[in-house]
């Protein structure tokens, strides 16, 4: 199960306003508009089908939120994919702790 509730809690705790669907959502704060995609551990290991959204929402910032144990693999996959937008991965746990893993330096 993707950490959707945990992802929303992380962004709310950072002062973002949340809007959007039940699973993916948009987090906004000041000038930042971030498309947030929670992924369960299985999708984080094999994310190809999840990452092909076409980027139609116009968000230049993306954040993929998954469970901490799956976050390093997802980051490595994204580093190899080199998507045409700025991105980060957040690894969360059920206790509310999280770790932000930045995307590639100077991307896109």
What are the angstrom distances between the C-alpha of 40 and each of 31, 55, 70, 104, 106?
A: 29, 20, 8, 22, 28
Among residues 74, 88, 77, 83, the alpha carbon closest in space to that of 108 is found at 83
Measured between alpha carbons, how far is 57 from 22 in angstroms, rounded to an integer?
A: 16
Give the chain's domains with CATH numbers.
4-102 (3.40.1350)
Among residues 97, 52, 100, 96, the alpha carbon closest in space to that of 72 is found at 100
Measured between alpha carbons, how far is 76 from 30 in angstroms, rounded to an integer?
A: 29
Say what the pLDDT of residue 57 is: 54
pLDDT tens-digit profile of 24-43?
A: 999 999 989 999 999 999 88
Token pair for 14 = 């950072």
Say what the pLDDT of residue 51 is: 65
Say what the pLDDT of residue 97 is: 95
Q: What is the mean pLDDT of the chain?
A: 87
Say what the pLDDT of residue 40 is: 92
Say what the pLDDT of residue 82 is: 85
């Amino acid at each position: 199960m993707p950490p959707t509730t945990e992802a929303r809690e992380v962004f709310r705790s950072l002062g973002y306003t949340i809007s959007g669907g039940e699973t993916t959502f948009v987090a906004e704060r000041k000038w930042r508009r971030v498309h947030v995609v929670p992924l369960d551990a299985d999708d984080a290991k094999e994310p190809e089908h999840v990452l092909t959204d076409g980027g139609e929402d116009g968000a230049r910032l993306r954040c993929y939120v998954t469970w901490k144990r799956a976050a390093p693999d997802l980051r490595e996959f994204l580093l190899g994919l080199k998507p045409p937008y700025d991105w980060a991965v957040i690894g969360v746990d059920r206790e509310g702790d999280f770790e932000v893993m930045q995307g590639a330096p100077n991307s896109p």
